[in-house]
C-alpha cells in the first residue's frame, strides 16, 4: 500500500490514528454511507416521511391553484409531479434499494433517479423524453426534504477508531458528531475559522480542513494518522511512523492530564491581575465540559445551533428550556446568550419561507440583520431568553451589529419583548444586560455609540478578520490570506479594547484568537480581561495567564501595536512569549 501525506489547515489539534470512512454529506453532493441492518426500517420510514411531506407540499400548491393564488398553467405541471410521486418507481423502489444495499435514503433515491433518467433518455417520443426534467424535479424535492432532516450518520465502531473523510461538511453536519464518536475528521473544503471548524474544535478531536482532494485520494478503510496541530494527514503510514505518532499521542494525553490540576486555580497573572476565562458553547449539554474545565462563565452561547438540523423552528418554550438549562447549569456564573446568528454558512434551509439564496451571504441578511427582518422569530427568542433570566445570571449578546440604527432597533425589540411579558405577568429580570459583538470593522472604529448604548461588548475576531481582510472565513481557496495577525486586525482589536477600557465598559473577546496561548500575553497587554473560548482551551490559556506579568510586556506590546512588517511582528511576539 502506498503511503503518502496530505496537507491542509489543522483546525483542531491533537493526533488521531484510525481507519477512513468516506462521507460526502454536503449541499454539493449526496451522502453515501452504509447503515447497520437494524437501522433499515428507520431509514425506510425516513424516506416515506419525506415523500409524504412532498405530497403534502404539492397538495398545498394545488389548493393555492384553486383559490386563484397561482397561474392556471401551473396545474398541469403539478398534476404530473403528483402522479410521479405516486409512481412506485419513485416512491417504492428506493425503499428496496435501502434494504438491499443497506444504504442511506438519499443515496437510494439518487441511484433510482439516475436509473429513471437513463430510461427516459432512451425513449423515442420527444414529449415523454421531456418528462425527464419532471422526474428530476420531484426527486430533488424529496432529496431536499431528506437532507433537511438528516438521517443517522454512519456509526463509528467502538473497537476501531474511525476517521471521517468528507468533501465538505456544514456546521449542521458537524454538530451531529457530538453524538458519534469519531476519532477525527478531514474535509476537502473549509477555512480555519469556518463554523464547521469551530464545532470541530468543540468536539475535542483532531480535524484538518482544506485538504483539497482527500476525499478522492483516500479509500474506504485505509489507515490514517491525522495530526491537527501540524496540519497533516498521513495515509497508510508504515510501522515506524505509526510508532512515532503513538508516542506523541501519549505525550499529548499526559500534558492534558497535567493541566487538569489547574481547574480550580484562580486565573491571575504574576502581577496580580485577575482574568475571566469563559467558555464558548453550542448546545446546552456543553455546559458540563465548561464546568469540568473550570470556566468562570459562558462568554458565548451560539444559540443558532438550536435551529439547525430540524424541520420546524424551536418554539419559545423549547428555547426557554435550553436557556434555562444553561443558566442553571452554570450555577450563578454569567451566561452570555448570543441571539441567533443564522445566515451565511448556517442557513436554516429546511424552514419554509426562510431560506434565501443570497448573492453574497456573508455580507447579506445574516445574524441581527436577519433577526430584524424576521421580528416574529426575534421576539420569540428574546422572550425565551428573558424568561430564563430568573434562573441564573443571563446576559443577551447581539451579533454583527454595524450601525447605531441596528442597536436602536434591537433595544426597541427587547423593550417590546419585556412589555409583552409584563402584560402577561411572566416574570423576568428587568435589568438584564445587553451587549454587542464587535465583529465588523465599522463597529470597532465607530465604537463610541456602542459604548454609550450597550452594557458590555465582545470582540468576535473570526468575523472581524473576515470583514477586515475581505477573506471568506469558510473558503479554502483564500485560507492562506486569512491572517489573524494582520496589523489592521490587531489595531482594530487594540482600538476597541482601549476605548472600552477608557469608558469603563466591560469588553470580552470570544473569537478563536481568545483561545490561542501564543496571543494571551499580547491581549493581556492590550487590556483584555475577559477571554471566552472552547472549553478544551481554557486550562492551557489559564496556564499562560499564570505565567505572565502584564507590566513586564508593556513596552513590547506597544511596539507590536505599531509594527507593520509581519516578520518583525513575529519576532516581537516571540520575544513577548519568551
Cβ proximity to ligand PEP: between 202 and 432 the closer is 202
When binding is defined by CB under 6 A, the residue of 282, 341, 374, 476 that contacts ligand PEP is 341
Q: Is 103 a catalytic residue?
A: no
Do residues 518 and 547 touch, judged by C-beta distance below 8 A? Answer: no
| Number of residues this chain uses to bind ligand PEP (CB under 6 A) | 11
293 touching ligand PEP, by CB under 6 A: no
Do residues 361 and 343 touch, judged by C-beta distance below 8 A? Answer: yes
Kindly indicate which of the ranges 54-62, 173-181, 461-469, 541-549 contains the residues binding ligand PEP, using the contact rule CB under 6 A: 461-469
Torsion, CA 30, CA 35, CA 39, CA 44, rounded to 10: 40
463 touching Mg ion, by CB under 5 A: yes
Identified catalytic residue from 25, 32, 195, 231: 195
Query: What does the radius of gyration of the chain's CA atoms come to, in whole angstroms?
Result: 26
- Give Cβ neighbours of residue 358 (< 8 Å, ≥ 6 apart): 343, 364, 365
Residue 511 interacting entry, from Mg ion, ligand PEP, none, C-beta within 5 to 8 Å by type? ligand PEP
Query: Which residues pair with residue 456 across a beta bridge?
Result: 435
Rama region for 379: left / alpha / beta (φ>0; ψ in -120 to 50; rest) = alpha
Kindly indicate which of the ranges 8-16, 154-162, 245-253, 456-464 contains the residues binding ligand PEP, using the contact rule CB under 6 A: 456-464
How far apart are the C-alpha atoms of 388 and 563, rounded to whole Å?
A: 46
461 touching ligand PEP, by CB under 6 A: yes
Short-list 429, 315, 411, CA closest to 372: 411
Cβ proximity to ligand PEP: between 13 and 191 the closer is 191
302 touching ligand PEP, by CB under 6 A: yes
472 touching Mg ion, by CB under 5 A: no
Of the CA atoms within 13 Å of residue 499, those in its CB half-sphere come to 21
> Edge-to-edge, what's the strand order for the sheet holding 232-235?
4-7, 232-235, 223-227, 15-23, 162-166, 184-187, 207-209, 9-12
When binding is defined by CB under 5 A, the residue of 106, 282, 406, 439 that contacts Mg ion is 439
Of the CA atoms within 13 Å of residue 513, those in its CB half-sphere come to 26
Chain residue whose CB lies nearest Mg ion:
463
Kindly indicate which of the ranges 73-81, 459-467, 475-483, 495-503 contains the residues binding ligand PEP, using the contact rule CB under 6 A: 459-467
Find the shortest distance in angstroms from Cβ 366 to ligand PEP.
9
511 touching ligand PEP, by CB under 6 A: yes
Q: Is 510 a catalytic residue?
A: yes
Q: Which of residues 156-215 bind ligand PEP (CB under 6 A)?
A: 198
Instruction: Write out the three cell numbers for 84.
Output: 410521479
8-state DSSP, 392: S
460 touching Mg ion, by CB under 5 A: yes
Find the shortest distance in angstroms from Cβ 278 to ligand PEP.
12
How far apart are the C-alpha atoms of 541 and 535, rounded to whole Å?
A: 10
Cβ proximity to Mg ion: between 106 and 463 the closer is 463
Catalytic residues, by residue number, are 195, 510
Task: Using CB under 6 A, list all residues that contact ligand PEP.
Answer: 198, 300, 302, 341, 439, 460-463, 510-511
Amino acid at each position: 500500500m502506498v503511503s503518502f501525506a496530505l496537507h491542509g489547515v489543522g483546525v483542531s489539534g491533537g493526533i488521531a490514528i484510525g481507519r477512513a470512512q468516506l462521507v460526502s454529506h454536503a449541499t454539493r453532493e449526496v451522502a453515501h454511507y452504509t447503515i447497520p441492518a437494524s437501522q433499515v426500517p428507520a431509514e425506510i420510514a425516513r424516506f416515506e416521511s419525506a415523500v409524504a411531506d412532498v405530497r403534502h407540499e404539492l397538495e398545498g400548491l394545488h389548493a393555492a391553484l384553486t383559490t386563484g393564488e397561482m397561474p392556471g398553467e401551473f396545474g398541469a405541471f403539478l398534476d404530473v409531479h403528483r402522479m410521479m410521486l405516486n409512481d412506485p418507481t419513485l416512491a417504492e423502489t428506493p425503499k428496496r434499494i435501502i434494504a438491499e444495499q443497506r444504504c442511506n435514503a438519499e443515496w437510494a433515491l439518487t441511484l433510482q433517479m439516475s436509473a429513471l433518467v437513463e430510461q427516459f433518455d432512451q425513449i423515442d417520443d420527444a414529449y415523454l423524453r421531456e418528462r425527464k426534467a419532471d422526474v428530476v424535479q420531484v426527486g430533488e424535492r424529496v432529496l431536499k426534504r431528506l437532507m433537511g432532516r438528516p438521517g443517522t450518520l454512519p456509526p463509528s465502531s467502538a473497537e476501531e477508531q474511525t476517521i471521517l473523510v468528507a468533501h465538505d461538511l456544514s456546521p449542521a453536519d458537524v454538530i451531529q458528531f457530538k453524538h458519534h464518536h469519531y476519532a477525527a475528521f478531514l474535509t476537502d473544503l473549509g477555512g480555519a475559522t469556518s463554523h464547521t471548524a469551530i464545532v470541530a474544535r468543540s468536539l475535542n478531536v483532531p480535524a484538518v480542513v482544506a485538504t483539497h482532494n482527500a476525499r478522492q485520494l483516500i479509500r474506504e478503510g485505509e489507515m490514517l494518522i491525522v495530526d491537527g496541530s501540524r496540519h497533516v494527514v498521513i495515509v497508510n503510514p508504515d510501522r515506524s511512523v505509526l510508532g512515532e505518532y503513538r508516542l506523541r499521542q501519549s505525550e499529548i494525553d499526559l500534558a492534558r492530564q497535567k493541566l487538569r490540576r489547574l481547574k480550580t486555580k484562580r486565573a491571575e497573572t504574576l502581577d496580580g491581575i485577575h482574568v475571566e476565562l469563559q467558555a464558548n458553547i453550542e448546545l446546552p449539554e456543553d455546559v458540563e465540559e465548561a464546568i469540568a474545565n473550570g470556566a468562570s462563565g459562558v462568554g458565548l452561547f451560539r444559540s443558532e445551533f438550536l435551529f439547525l438540523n430540524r424541520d420546524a423552528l424551536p418554539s419559545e418554550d423549547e428555547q426557554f428550556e435550553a436557556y434555562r438549562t444553561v443558566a442553571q447549569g452554570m450555577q450563578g456564573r454569567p451566561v452570555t446568550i448570543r441571539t441567533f446568528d443564522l445566515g451565511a454558512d448556517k442557513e436554516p434551509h429546511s424552514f419554509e419561507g426562510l431560506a434565501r439564496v443570497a448573492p453574497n451571504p456573508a455580507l447579506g441578511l445574516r445574524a441581527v440583520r436577519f433577526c430584524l427582518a424576521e421580528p416574529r422569530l426575534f421576539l420569540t427568542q428574546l422572550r425565551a431568553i428573558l424568561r430564563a433570566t430568573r434562573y441564573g445570571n443571563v446576559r443577551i449578546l447581539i451579533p454583527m451589529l454595524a450601525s447605531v440604527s441596528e442597536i436602536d432597533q434591537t433595544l426597541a425589540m427587547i423593550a417590546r419583548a419585556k412589555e409583552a411579558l409584563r402584560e402577561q405577568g411572566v416574570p423576568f429580570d428587568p435589568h438584564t444586560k445587553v451587549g454587542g459583538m464587535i465583529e465588523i470593522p465599522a463597529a470597532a472604529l465607530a465604537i463610541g455609540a456602542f459604548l454609550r448604548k450597550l452594557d458590555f461588548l465582545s470582540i468576535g475576531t473570526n468575523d472581524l478578520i473576515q470583514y477586515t481582510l475581505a477573506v471568506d472565513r469558510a473558503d479554502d481557496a483564500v485560507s492562506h490570506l486569512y491572517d489573524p495577525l494582520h496589523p489592521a486586525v490587531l489595531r482594530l482589536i487594540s482600538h476597541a479594547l482601549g476605548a472600552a477600557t477608557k469608558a469603563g465598559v466591560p469588553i470580552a473577546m470570544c473569537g478563536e484568537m481568545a483561545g490561542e496561548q501564543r496571543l494571551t500575553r499580547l491581549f493581556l497587554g492590550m487590556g483584555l480581561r475577559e477571554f471566552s473560548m472552547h472549553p478544551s482551551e481554557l486550562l492551557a490559556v489559564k496556564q499562560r495567564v499564570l505565567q505572565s506579568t502584564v507590566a513586564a510586556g508593556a513596552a513590547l506590546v506597544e511596539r507590536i501595536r505599531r509594527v507593520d512588517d509581519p516578520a518583525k511582528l513575529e519576532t516581537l511576539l516571540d520575544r513577548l512569549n519568551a
